[in-house]
């Protein structure tokens, strides 16, 4: 019997494979974004093959510089548009949303093998897929040939028990895990999340956890395909895509960890590494003034995240010293938030709502920090320079912690608001 990673790679390699083996496997979906796509296109041209293996399973997302703030990036967008036009590849236009969110909403199903030229492709593991980030060249080859090579990874098991207390979310769980095992704690490994506690995690919660598996160095972060997965696919009108997946009874895990969700508290990652994590009640979190709060990204820009933040911010105002930026992760999320009146809540609280996409996450445009400024973000990375200025400081937390912090103007415990 096998781990979920071994099962999926075996199916796509057409033979039984085990951790440590090298395989060539068929890929179900290959994608790139506007930062990695142009180089993938150049490599596809260098390969000199005609056409793509599966044009309808090849996607370019214009999400990082969206809308484009400079002519160089507009030209990159034009390159991707015309390449998609020529080859029949799918183009996800400016304003449609972040690649991983869009892929979760309509493209990926359990047992899929997904490669993306973006490190957070691992997000899709939440759907019971093996999804991993690679560079432009690997993904270009996968687009051309429909295949990629893999070393089958060893897996780490994360056994979850219980349920989250009020005010604690899956972001806190994954920050806690990364704090415990370190930013290289899962390097090369597949992280697999199982146990009775998994059932209480909805698909949005799972997407957040899988998204950040790469911040522990993981190759992917896989959840079982279960009733939650089935329900998520049903809501999208594609229940027929459902297939159960779970670890084999005697699957071999390199290491097992146990987490009781009921014992967790809100967590904050301090600059400049994701594993620099403290509980919100730690004295380090006292009186940390925050200049900017950013709610969004492939980690926490989903409708459920906006609901949590809006519930806290409703009829309240942001602290005068703190600006709030909200970026829905996709057009679908944006429209839903409009319908539910959440956008109005953010704006009335003093916030700015930007077009769907990556927003300020990677420092290309919008929300760039000033020298010495501190930002609390719901994103996944707080590396020096990440938000466009190496003199800025980035803290990571859940949307609830972000909303509470926007109100108080300093790191705040969301449990006082929920």
Binding stretches for another protein (CB under 8 A): 22-24, 35-36, 38-39, 43, 46-48, 64-65, 70, 72-73, 75-76, 79, 116-119, 121, 133-138, 140-141, 145, 147, 149, 151, 183-184, 187-188, 214, 217, 219, 273, 362-364, 368, 381, 383-390
34 belongs to the binding site for ligand SF4 (CB under 6 A): no
134 belongs to the binding site for ligand SF4 (CB under 6 A): no
Q: Which does 38 bind (CB under 5 to 8 A by kind): ligand SF4, another protein, none?
A: another protein
Q: Which does 137 bind (CB under 5 to 8 A by kind): another protein, ligand SF4, none?
A: another protein
362 belongs to the binding site for ligand SF4 (CB under 6 A): yes
Q: What is the CA radius of gyration of the chain?
A: 20
- Give the whole-angstrom CA distance, residue 40 versus residue 56: 17
Q: Are 87 and 58 in contact (CB under 8 A)?
A: yes
CB atoms within 10 A of CB 171: 28
Shortest distance, position 221 Cβ to ligand SF4, whole Å: 14
Cβ distance to ligand SF4 smaller for residue 92 or 155: 92
Which residues neighbour 123 within 8 Å (Cβ) at sequence distance 6 or greater? 100, 101, 103, 104, 131, 207, 210, 211, 298
Candidates 45-53, 77-85, 181-189, 355-363; binding stretch for ligand SF4 (CB under 6 A): 355-363
269 belongs to the binding site for ligand SF4 (CB under 6 A): no
Cα dihedral 372, 374, 379, 380 sign: positive
Cβ distance to another protein smaller for residue 188 or 338: 188
Shortest distance, position 361 Cβ to ligand SF4, whole Å: 3
Candidates 74-82, 163-171, 356-364, 404-412; binding stretch for ligand SF4 (CB under 6 A): 356-364
Cβ distance to ligand SF4 smaller for residue 157 or 364: 364
Q: Which does 128 bind (CB under 5 to 8 A by kind): ligand SF4, another protein, none?
A: none
Q: Which does 358 bind (CB under 5 to 8 A by kind): ligand SF4, another protein, none?
A: ligand SF4
Shortest distance, position 383 Cβ to ligand SF4, whole Å: 11
Q: Which does 297 bind (CB under 5 to 8 A by kind): another protein, ligand SF4, none?
A: ligand SF4
Cβ distance to ligand SF4 smaller for residue 144 or 376: 376
Shortest distance, position 340 Cβ to ligand SF4, whole Å: 22
Candidates 228-236, 248-256, 267-275, 354-362; binding stretch for ligand SF4 (CB under 6 A): 354-362
Q: Which does 292 bind (CB under 5 to 8 A by kind): another protein, ligand SF4, none?
A: none
Which residues ranging from 146 to 205 are in contact with ligand SF4 (CB under 6 A)?
none
Q: Which does 298 bind (CB under 5 to 8 A by kind): ligand SF4, another protein, none?
A: ligand SF4
Shortest distance, position 259 Cβ to another protein, whole Å: 23
Contact pick of 105, 118, 138, 154 for ligand SF4 (by CB under 6 A): 118
- How far is C-alpha 350 from the chain's CA centre? 27
Q: Which does 379 bind (CB under 5 to 8 A by kind): another protein, ligand SF4, none?
A: ligand SF4
Binding site for ligand SF4 (CB under 6 A): 64, 98, 118, 120, 297-298, 358, 361-362, 379-380
């Amino acid at each position: 019997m096998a781990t979920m990673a071994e099962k999926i790679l075996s199916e796509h390699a057409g033979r039984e494979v085990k951790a440590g083996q090298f395989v060539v496997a068929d890929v179900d979906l290959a994608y790139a974004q506007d930062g990695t796509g142009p180089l993938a296109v150049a490599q596809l041209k260098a390969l000199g093959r005609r056409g793509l293996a599966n044009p309808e399973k090849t996607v370019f997302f214009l999400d990082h510089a969206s809308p484009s703030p400079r002519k160089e990036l507009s030209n990159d967008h034009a390159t991707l548009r015309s390449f998609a036009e020529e080859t029949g590849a799918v183009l996800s236009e400016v304003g449609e949303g972040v690649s991983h969110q869009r892929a979760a909403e309509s493209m990926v199903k359990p047992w899929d093998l997904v490669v993306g030229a973006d490190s957070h492709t691992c997000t899709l593991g939440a759907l019971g897929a093996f999804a991993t980030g690679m560079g432009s060249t690997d993904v270009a080859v996968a687009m051309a040939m429909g295949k990629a090579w893999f070393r089958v990874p060893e897996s780490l098991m994360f056994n979850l028990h219980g349920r989250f207390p009020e005010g604690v979310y899956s972001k806190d769980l994954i920050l806690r895990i990364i704090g415990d095992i370190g930013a290289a704690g899962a390097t090369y490994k597949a992280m697999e999340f199982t146990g009775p506690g998994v059932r209480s995690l909805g698909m949005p919660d799972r997407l957040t956890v899988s998204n950040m598996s790469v911040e522990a160095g993981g190759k992917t972060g896989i959840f079982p395909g279960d009733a939650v997965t089935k329900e998520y696919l049903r809501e999208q009108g594609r229940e027929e895509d459902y297939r159960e997946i779970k670890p084999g009874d005697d699957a071999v895990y390199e290491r097992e960890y146990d987490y009781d969700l009921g014992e967790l508290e809100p967590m904050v990652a301090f600059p400049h590494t994701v594993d620099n994590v403290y509980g919100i009640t730690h004295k380090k979190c006292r009186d940390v003034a925050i200049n900017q709060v950013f709610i969004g990204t492939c980690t926490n820009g989903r409708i459920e995240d906006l609901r949590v933040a809006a519930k806290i911010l409703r009829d309240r105002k942001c602290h005068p010293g703190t600006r709030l930026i909200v970026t829905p992760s996709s057009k679908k999320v944006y429209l839903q938030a409009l319908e539910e009146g959440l956008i109005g809540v953010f704006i009335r609280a003093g916030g700015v709502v930007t077009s769907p996409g990556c927003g300020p996450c990677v420092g290309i445009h919008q929300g760039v920090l000033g020298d010495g400024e501190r930002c609390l973000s719901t994103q996944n990375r707080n590396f020096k320079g990440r938000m466009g200025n190496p003199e800025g400081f980035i803290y990571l937390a859940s949307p609830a912690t972000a909303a509470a912090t926007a109100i108080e103007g300093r790191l705040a415990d969301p449990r006082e608001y929920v």
